[in-house]
């Protein structure tokens, strides 16, 4: 008999997986103790043959069930029908595993602890799958997934928990059979804007390796995605029946240090938002201010010619003092004003006073508004959807790795010697560093770098940079997605980017997935402020863009 499952939509059980010792008791064993005590009392009271048989049955029952469960260690077999693979992200991958019961005994209660991809294919987690194995039966699990992010994923069976018929005892059958799937990022090309902004050095100029002004051919190698078509050696390619590319010596060579930031800085769960009464009061206060502003605007409208009562009142007063005003103006040398001109001047003076008062009140309201905004500053790191917090660290690390790959390939094509640094728990020292002098060197470590795991938040590029002592005549590139105030302060405090040798030639390539942030406008203004702050310390801040073509 064969059984199969696709997707595990009905058998998986959510929640944290508990791990038990090799042999353990369940909660049902308490029921057995009660039955055992009752059988003992019953036997002592009756002292009959039937009671003795019942007591012997109850006494030996757990031992028989233990022997029965232990037989599963030799009769239950697990096989991985799929192989370990190396794929590109978003490429379909099908995994298959099978559990076979080679015994003539049934096992109705089995909990298989499997490591399987999540629904969103972000990571692989342990799941408990309940199985019921008939004699000489098998159970096959098959599913096709598309991994969204680069990294290393393990798919397989960790162990099996086999229960007896009464679920009193639990026996663990260790399996430990996994397939390793290495998911690689895309090898994309960095945009021209970032290339010219970050790569140009104020101290040195060189020829463009993609132009026709070559000096000599330094190497001939196989074509790699992203190589310019101008560098293809067509004659040798036709003979070799494969594309061959020429590397040219541009007459210049420079060292570049690249620091890749894989630190997990975002929380895995959305932050708690406590609704207080203060925001409601602030809204009511703002509404009252807006109402007062509208009332003042209505009151402060300029006078119109229809305001005849004021005009008549002024006209009645002007002739009374007209002769005296004329004599005074004639004595002072001023021109004599008519009644209409006097009224116009009076209205103009009253209008100026009102406009000055309105401008003062407007400035006061604007200052109060700015103060309220300062007290209620928005979080530029807040995400648009709470579901984004679950995979935001993987999302950012994925973009940072792809930007780093693009930056390394660009520097190598410019005939620069690169040294790549990143934190990695797989290394004995916790850090990997490789000196790359060509595309072949990078291809040799590409899989190791592309599948590097996330590291703790404190393992930043600033800490990584401080481990490097010799930075003379080198350019440093920091590829990161962290732009919080602490990260900016750490970058500005680095001594090896503010010296005379590298000032102005180093840069920060920022991966900024703005489509996931809630306050895009405020974040953009914040990044502009960080750009000026970093530039004052000799670091150019570039928002990396990756061309898909």
State the pLDDT at residue 406.
92
State the pLDDT at residue 512.
92
267-303 confidence digits (pLDDT tens)? 988 887 654 444 444 545 555 555 555 555 444 444 4
State the pLDDT at residue 16.
66
Full strand arrangement of the beta sheet holding 76-80:
2-6, 138-146, 92-101, 76-80
State the pLDDT at residue 284.
54
Within a 10 A sphere around the Cβ of 190, how many other Cβ atoms?
Answer: 24
State the pLDDT at residue 373.
45
Among candidate residues 534, 424, 536, 529, the one with its CA nearest the CA of residue 490: 534
State the pLDDT at residue 456.
94
What is the DSSP annotation of 144-173?
EEE-SS-EEEEEEEEEEEEE-TTS-EEEEE
State the pLDDT at residue 207.
43
CB proximity list for 459: less than 8 A, separation 6 or greater:
262, 263, 423, 430
174-203 confidence digits (pLDDT tens)? 999 999 999 999 888 765 444 433 333 333
pTM of the model: 0.69
Q: Is 37 helix (H, G, I), strand (E, B) or coil?
A: helix
State the pLDDT at residue 452.
95
Spatial separation of the C-alpha atoms in residues 314 and 101, rounded to whole Å: 111
State the pLDDT at residue 237.
83
State the pLDDT at residue 376.
52
Among positive and negative, which fits the CA dihedral 332, 333, 337, 341?
Answer: negative
State the pLDDT at residue 331.
46
CB crowding 83-104: b at 16 or more within 10 Å, else e: eeeebebeeebebbbbbbbebe
Spatial separation of the C-alpha atoms in residues 288 and 369, rounded to whole Å: 13
CB crowding 3-17: b at 16 or more within 10 Å, else e: eebeeeeebeeeeee
Q: Is 226 helix (H, G, I), strand (E, B) or coil?
A: coil
Determine phi and psi for 113, rounding to 5 degrees: -90, 105
Which residues in the chain show pLDDT less than 70? 1-16, 190-219, 225-226, 247-253, 273-344, 351-376, 496-504, 546-549
Spatial separation of the C-alpha atoms in residues 171 and 162, rounded to whole Å: 5
Token code pair at residue 197: 């902004």
Spatial separation of the C-alpha atoms in residues 162 and 164, rounded to whole Å: 7
CB crowding 202-240: b at 16 or more within 10 Å, else e: eeeebbebeeeebeeeeeebeebebbeeebebeeebeee
Query: Looking at beta carbons, which pairs linking 276-283 to residues 24 or more positions away fall under 8 Å?
Result: 279/376, 282/372, 282/376
State the pLDDT at residue 329.
46
CB proximity list for 325: less than 8 A, separation 6 or greater:
336, 337
């Amino acid at each position: 008999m064969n059984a199969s499952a696709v997707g595990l939509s009905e058998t998986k059980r959510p929640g944290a997986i508990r791990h038990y010792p090799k042999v353990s008791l369940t909660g049902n064993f308490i029921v057995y103790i009660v039955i055992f005590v009752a059988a003992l009392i019953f036997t002592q009271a009756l002292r009959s043959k039937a009671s003795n048989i019942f007591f012997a049955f109850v006494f030996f029952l757990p031992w028989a069930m233990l022997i029965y469960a232990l037989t599963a260690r030799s009769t239950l077999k697990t096989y991985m029908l799929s192989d370990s693979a190396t794929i590109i992200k978003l490429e379909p991958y099908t995994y298959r595993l099978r559990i076979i019961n080679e015994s003539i005994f049934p096992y109705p209660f089995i909990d298989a602890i499997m490591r399987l991809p999540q629904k969103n294919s972000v990571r692989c987690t342990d799941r408990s799958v309940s199985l019921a194995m008939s004699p000489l039966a098998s159970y096959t699990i098959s599913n096709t997934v598309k991994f969204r992010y680069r990294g290393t994923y393990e798919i397989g069976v960790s162990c099996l928990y086999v229960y007896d018929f009464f679920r009193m005892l639990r026996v663990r059958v260790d399996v430990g059979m996994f397939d390793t799937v290495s998911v690689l990022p895309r090898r994309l090309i960095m945009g021209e804007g970032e290339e010219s902004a970050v790569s140009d050095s104020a101290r040195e100029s060189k020829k463009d390796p993609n132009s026709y002004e070559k000096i000599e051919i330094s190497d001939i190698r196989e074509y790699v995605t992203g190589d310019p078509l101008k560098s293809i050696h067509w004659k040798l390619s036709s003979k070799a029946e494969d594309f061959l590319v020429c590397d040219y010596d541009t007459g210049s060579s420079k060292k570049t240090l690249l620091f890749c930031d894989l630190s997990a800085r975002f929380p895995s769960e959305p932050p708690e938002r406590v609704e207080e009464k203060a925001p409601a009061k602030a809204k009511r206060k703002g509404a009252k201010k807006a109402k007062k502003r509208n009332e003042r605007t209505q009151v402060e409208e300029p006078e119109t010619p229809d305001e005849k009562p004021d005009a008549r009142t002024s006209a009645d007063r002007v002739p009374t003092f007209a002769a005296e005003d004329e004599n005074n103006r004639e004595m002072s040398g001023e021109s004599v004003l008519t009644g209409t001109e006097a009224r116009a001047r009076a209205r103009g003076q009253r209008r100026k006073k009102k406009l000055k008062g309105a401008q003062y009140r407007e400035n006061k309201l604007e200052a109060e508004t700015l103060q309220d905004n300062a007290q209620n500053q928005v979080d530029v790191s807040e995400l648009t959807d709470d579901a984004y917090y679950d995979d935001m660290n993987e999302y950012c690390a994925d973009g940072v790795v792809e930007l780093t790959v693009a930056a390394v390939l660009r520097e190598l094509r410019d005939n620069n010697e690169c040294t790549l640094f990143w934190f990695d728990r797989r290394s004995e020292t916790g850090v990997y560093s490789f000196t790359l002098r060509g595309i072949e060197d990078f291809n040799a470590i590409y899989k190791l770098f592309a599948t590097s795991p996330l590291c703790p938040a404190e393992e930043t590029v600033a800490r990584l940079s401080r481990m490097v002592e010799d930075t003379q005549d080198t350019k440093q590139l920091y590829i990161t997605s962290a732009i919080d105030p602490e990260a900016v302060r750490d970058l500005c405090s680095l001594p090896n980017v503010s010296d005379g040798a590298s000032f102005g030639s180093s840069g920060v390539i920022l991966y900024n997935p703005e489509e996931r942030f809630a306050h895009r406008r405020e974040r953009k203004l914040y990044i502009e402020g960080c750009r000026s702050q970093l530039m004052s310390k000799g670091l150019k801040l570039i928002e990396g863009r990756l061309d898909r073509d």
